[in-house]
Amino acid sequence: MAAAADAAIDNVLLNGTGPIVRPKKEVAHVAAVTLGGICDIAEAWERICSGRGISLRLAGIFCHAAPQVRFKGQSGKTACELADLLVVTDIRKRGALTRRAALIQAKMARAKQRVSMTGPSSCKQLDLYQNWYRFDFVDPAYPMSRVDFRKSPGSRWSGTFGVIDPRFDAQPRWTQHPARPTPSIIWNHDPRLGRFIAEMADGTQRGFGRLATPSLNTDWSKTVELLLTVTYKRAFGDKAILGPARPPRGASAIVCFGNTAVPISQSSFKLFDGMLPPLRSIPEDAEREPVGLSVVHLELATDQD
């Protein structure tokens, strides 16, 4: 499944999807993955999962300008984006839910197989991900303050850096890197985004997401739930990225859904009965709109142990 997901994401990073043709910038790559990559992954995984008693739903949402958080870091009081992308996997086995989630900051490689974390925004994001200071959300749509990811185990796996290298072996590649040690070199063995998602769903290896099951009632699990809830109410429009046709800002796919599979129950993100809100232009007074976060959300259900 990891190899199939990697191939699907490699394809959209190179060729784009819909109105996004051959993405060049970081934000366009995120849009291509969330709007097109998840459908290609679903198609590839359908052949793998078929007949195994598995139900699988993937959904992708694209929102630019992620929510800001305030914290006191190494340089004093400051603020930065929480993430560019949130990946969530909900696994139900015989009705019991296990959720894993990971925040991802996307960065373009500065040269082939090299990434620099020296820019002002990158330094703030790196400081936050390496130390996870208590933070407050800037946007009032997120009514959480003094958020502390360190109160429960696994804080180091909360955030990771996704490095997009358009020059890697003549094929754009998105690799995943922990915040510590500071990312600098992209190696062949670094997990690509497709494998990262597949390993999160599998849940047997450390370093691929962090437990965020709502019943844990931790600041981490509450934050993930809140990010999903706000994001799926958000609409986004940007002609420079999505073109003038105003296509949907989200995509979803259901695979392996048959008589041998376990039905997937309603989840927090399914606020519109499977239908995402239509794309609309963001008004000039955009601060009145809650700032959403791009999301890849996978739900898998099985009656097998």
Give 206-246 pLDDT, tens digit per residue. Answer: 999 999 999 999 999 999 999 988 887 654 444 444 444 44
Q: Which sequence spans correspond to the domains of the chain?
A: 60-236+262-277+289-302
Q: How far is CA 304 from CA 180, 201, 260, 301, in A?
A: 36, 15, 11, 9
Annotate 16-45 with b (16+ C-beta within 10 A) or e (fewer).
bbbebeebeeebbbbbbbbbbbbbbbbebb
**Highest mean pLDDT of the ranges 7-21, 189-203, 271-285:** 189-203
pLDDT at 305: 61
Q: Is 152 or 277 the better-scoring residue by pLDDT?
A: 152
Pairing between β-strand 135-137 and β-strand 85-93 as defined by DSSP bridges? unpaired
Mean pLDDT (whole number) for 178-201: 95
User: pTM value?
Assistant: 0.84
Element (H, E) at 59: strand 54-61
d(CA 85, CA 62) in angstroms, rounded, equals: 9
| DSSP H or E stretch at residue 8 | helix 2-15
pLDDT-derived band at 23 (thresholds 50, 70, 90) equals confident
